[in-house]
Amino acid sequence: MASPKPVAEPHKELRFTRTSQAQTFIILAAIAIAFSLFLIVTWLMGHPDFSWWMPLIPLSIATLLTRLAVRCARHAYLILTPLGIEIFPLINAQKNLNLIYWSQLHEAEFDPQLTQLKLHFNPEKTSGTILSLKPIPPNKRPLLKTAIQGRLSHDM
């Protein structure tokens, strides 16, 4: 399995992963495995309506969900670097990476529940980027808020 590349200066960046999403996918995978076990037991008991191949369907779904959960937990969603904020989408992250430089940002606005981040590029707040913070665990969101606001206040 591929692993993240070593960072040249790891002390200068903050990584935020999709761990909150990974938990959801692991729970769904566990439910799929439990259903598969139910089907296996029912088939072994000789029920006429169940076939040997039926447990393979939820097992394959559980395998895909587990791989997705591992990907969410290992790979970054947001990285705060000295250059700016790197935003990695879930699908094709290397191809669709979005880098927003600190010099582009005018203001960062968080909602009270810390579930949404609005990055404004101008004082009128007419252009920018809106990010959902739900993939990031709730206990890590205040750290993200402090880091972004601290960096933006440092530039002012």
pLDDT of 83:
87
Residues 6+ apart with CB under 8 A from 89: 96, 97, 98
> How far is C-alpha 55 from the chain's CA centre?
29
The structure's pTM equals 0.77
Given a cut of 70, whether residue 156 has pLDDT beyond it is no
- Residue 94: pLDDT band (50, 70, 90) is confident
- Residue 69: pLDDT band (50, 70, 90) is very high
Instruction: Note the helical H segments in 14-140.
Output: 19-44, 56-74
Reported as a single tens digit per residue, the pLDDT across 115-153 is 999 999 998 988 899 999 999 999 999 999 999 999 888
Q: What is the mean pLDDT of the chain?
A: 88
> Which of the two residues, 10 and 147, has the higher pLDDT score?
147
Question: Which residue has 């008991």 as its token pair?
Answer: 45
DSSP, collapsed to helix, strand or coil, labels residue 23 as helix
